Amino acid sequence: MFKVLVSDPISEDGIRALLDSDQVQVDQKTDLSPEALKETIPEYDGLIVRSQTKVTKEILECATKLKVIGRAGVGVDTIDLEAATEHGVIVVNAPNGNTISTCEHTFAMLMASARNIPQAHKTLTEGNWDRKTYKGVELKGKTLGIVGMGRIGTEVSKRAKAFQMNVIGYDPFLTEERASQIGIQKGDLDKIYENADFITVHTPLIKETHHLINKSAFQKMKKGVRIVNCARGGIIDETALLEAIDEGIVARAALDVFEEEPPTDNPLVGKPEVIVTPHLGASTSEAQLYVAEDVSQEILNILSDQPFQNAVNMPAVNDETRKILEPYYLLSEKLGEMMIQLAKQPPRHIKISYAGTLTDFNTELVTRTFVKGLLSHYLGEKVNIVNATHLAKQYGLSYSVENTTASLGYSGLISVTLTTDEGEYSAAGTLFDGLGPRIVHVNQYTIDIAPTDRLLYIQHTDVPGIIGHVGSLLGKHEINIATMQVGRKQVGGQAIMMLTIDKALSEEVLGELLQVDHIHSAKNIDL
Ligand SMILES: NC(=O)C1=CN([C@@H]2O[C@H](COP(=O)(O)OP(=O)(O)OC[C@H]3O[C@@H](n4cnc5c(N)ncnc54)[C@H](O)[C@@H]3O)[C@@H](O)[C@H]2O)C=CC1
Ligand SMILES: O=C(O)C(=O)COP(=O)(O)O
């Protein structure tokens, strides 16, 4: 039975699939302090959060069983992604469920700031009939600058068009073609600052967007500009915003999000030119239902080893690709396990080459399973496909990946070279139709062996009688040989023998093998 903790308020209907699952026990504890969360998290396999719970490095260090964090929403800036990855925890979000609600909230804020609705409401409820102070502006014919043309920015642009606004969008991924499809102008930040009567931001909060709208940006804006932030506090520098309001550059600001939430002693809150809501962008019945449903399904999939879509620290692989690549995951993991046992020194660099049909796909997960196989031989269960390449870097092990045309006649081929201080080790594997994974090269020797549980690897000189010696010695010790393959580069030269055997050789038997003339090394390989 898996245990999932829900640590922020979430739609009960939305998590129905989890509540009804007999594989999962759900605990809802939405008032935990960071200390209490640290104490309770070791029990849990899954954690569901919104933006209140801060999933810090310290919490992740205590989360010894945790496999997945589900963010019922978009922004994952409240989760230490690097620490989650390091601890092998998959982080999934629900990127689509709250797009419309947040877009509509943005539009509500835009309109409220154009017509001074909150300020006018307040005055009237205080008993004053003031029609003069709260004269507003029309949206029609005005220019809206949208910074971040992703899901929400795009939806905002459609609504702005319906209000007959001119829209300038800026996003590093916005092409001319897409801009003209949506019916907006593609611009840059300066063009927005120069022309916009309204500016709204819809980027994630990341290093590049922290204080993106700062003092120098405000200096370039049109006097009387109105600013909306329903994305993240911190994208707009709050101190610079305050100054820009006082200097008369910004006429109105509408903020749903703050650099510190809840905002304490924030001079913007309560300022007559500023309207505020307490991070309500995604707070509708619909959005909360959708994000909770999406994230619950992802968590169920992850806990039951099924495909999932919205991991933010794992590459996305669609179902069709996954079906094709899945057998290669097993092959690459076995190759990794085999190669670390063949290497006599710690590897410093891994080079992985994909050839044949594999070059048509995103093979990042195949790479990760190789690295997982390689590391897990010594690091055990702490390695998984989430943290494998991250851990490799920590151990000073670099890797490079390339696609090549050298498929050697196989339909899909994975070739790997490990570089160590004392030399290189290489191997290659493929999938044979109906026969499954096969190792087809080891250290430049051509062979054909299934990567089963137990292999014996022998290096010898190619002379007559070796196979017979090995066969009778293993027979004497009641070690059954399932298959045997030999590989040589030239007659009478260096050769290898790979056997699949039913039980590992003891040190004594390995010692006896090494007494056989022309055998130079013998090694059990445990896969
Ligand atoms: N107030 C609330 O309750 C909610 C806030 N949000 C926030 O809204 C933001 C946008 O969400 P979505 O549209 O769903 O995300 P998205 O990922 O679809 O779009 C974000 C866009 O920002 C762009 N971008 C990144 N850096 C940029 C830069 N330096 N300049 C311009 N564009 C840049 C990206 O290319 C991307 O297209 C996120 O920060 C999210 O956390 C989302 C939902 C609810
Ligand atoms: O989805 C997002 O990024 C949000 O900001 C929504 O936050 P919330 O789930 O309402 O705390």
Please write down the HEC assignment for all residues of 414-443.
EEEEEEECCEEEEEEEEEECCCEEEEEEEC
> Which of 48, 74, 312 gets mutated to test ligand 2 (max ligand atoms within 8 A of its CB)?
74
Is 125 a residue whose pLDDT tops 90? yes
Chain mean pLDDT for the chain: 95
Q: Which residue has the tokens 């991250």?
A: 390
How far is 266 from 250, CA to CA, in rounded Å? 17
C-alpha neighbours within 13 Å on the C-beta side of residue 257: 26
Q: What are phi and psi of 424, to 5 degrees?
A: -110, 150
Q: Is 276 helix (H, G, I), strand (E, B) or coil?
A: strand
The percent of residues above 90 in pLDDT, for the chain, comes to 90
Containing H/E element for 515?
Answer: helix 507-515
| Pocket of ligand 1 from Cβ distances under 6 Å | 73-75, 95, 98-99, 102, 147-153, 170-173, 202-205, 208-209, 212, 230-232, 256-257, 279, 281-282
Q: For residues 382 and 391, what is the distance between their CA atoms, to the nearest angstrom? A: 10
Q: Is 228 left (phi over 0), alpha (psi -120 to 50) or beta?
A: beta
Longest dimension (CA), the chain: 108
- Express each pLDDT in 206-225 by its tens digit: 999 999 999 999 999 999 99
Q: Which atom of ligand 2 is nearest to the CA of 231?
A: 5
- Are the C-beta atoms of residues 9 and 31 closer than 8 Å to each other? no
Q: Whose CA is nearest to atom 17 of ligand 1?
A: 150
Ligand nearest, relative to CA of residue 94: 2
Catalytic center residues = 232, 261, 279
Is pTM, for the whole model, over 0.90?
no
Per-residue pLDDT tens digits for 414-465: 999 999 988 999 999 999 987 899 999 999 899 999 998 899 999 999 999 9
Q: What is the pLDDT of residues 247-274, one digit of tens each?
A: 999 999 999 999 999 999 999 999 999 9
How many other CB atoms sit within 10 Å of the CB of residue 471? 13
Q: Is the CB of 96 under 6 A from ligand 2?
A: no
pLDDT digits (tens, 9 = 90+) for 300-322: 999 998 888 899 998 888 888 88
* Residue 289 alpha carbon to ligand 2 centre in Å: 13
